[in-house]
Amino acid sequence: MYHSVAEEDEDPYQLTVSPERFAEQMDWLHRSGRRGVSVRELLAAQARGRESRLVGLTFDDGYADFARHAVPVLREHGFTATAYVMPDLLGAANHWDAEGPRKKLLTVDQVTELAASGWEIGSHGLGHQALSGLPPAALERQTKESRHKLEDLVGGPVTGFCYPYGAVDLPATRAVRDAGYDYACAIEHSSLTGRHALPRCYVGDRDGVWRLRAKHGRHRWREAVTGLRWAPPKAAAGERR
């Protein structure tokens, strides 16, 4: 799980990875025989039992530096990724981070260009509002309206959602599912873990090769313990998949 790839002197929330460190991390992934892919591609491969050596790469908040610093490195290795954006904040900045630093967000043109080039675009809600505890009407707006706006923008289906702040509860997962999303990403493992609350592994600027190996091993262990490598949902009798 990534957020921003940029050079920052101050990073109070530790959300930024330098371009040099990011290139090092992707190089390790490539040399280890793994391939970075979007969550959509990872889940499709998993349904066919072919997810071995694939690693889902996600970028939250839709920072403009994704297009400038991350995409060229990913392309160099033949990787893809998923960028989760907020349709009501395209071209704006990360106002929700009170301590800064201020970062520009992807513009409408950048999002449409990325989608046209094959990058998966997912929803991060309308404007980075935590979903847990919201009333039903607000949940529906954040999930369904954001999806419709992004689909109009990219001219195709938007099937993935990412919970702002990783804040998720049972009503939120139900709202995301009812809004038509195929999956949703959370952060931590929890009792809600499943296709609409996928846990992820945080990657930061301090994560060199050895720390990446340790995190990867720990994540795989948690998958085994919690049964995260679930089988794809079986089709109902007579239903074609």
What is the reported pLDDT for 198?
96
SS3 at position 65? helix
Q: What is the pTM of this model?
A: 0.90
What is the reported pLDDT for 240?
32
Q: How far is 196 from 186, CA to CA, in rounded Å?
A: 8
Residue 50 makes CB contacts below 8 A (sequence gap 6+) with none
CATH of the structural domain 14-225, one choice from 3.10.105.10, 3.20.20.370, 3.40.50.1820, 3.40.630.30: 3.20.20.370
Which helix (H) or strand (E) is 228 found in, with range? Answer: none
What is the reported pLDDT for 117?
98
End-to-end CA distance of the chain: 30
Domain boundary assignment for the chain: 14-225
- Mean pLDDT split into 10-residue runs, the chain, 241 residues: 96 96 96 97 96 96 99 98 99 95 98 99 98 98 99 98 97 98 94 93 90 72 43 34 29
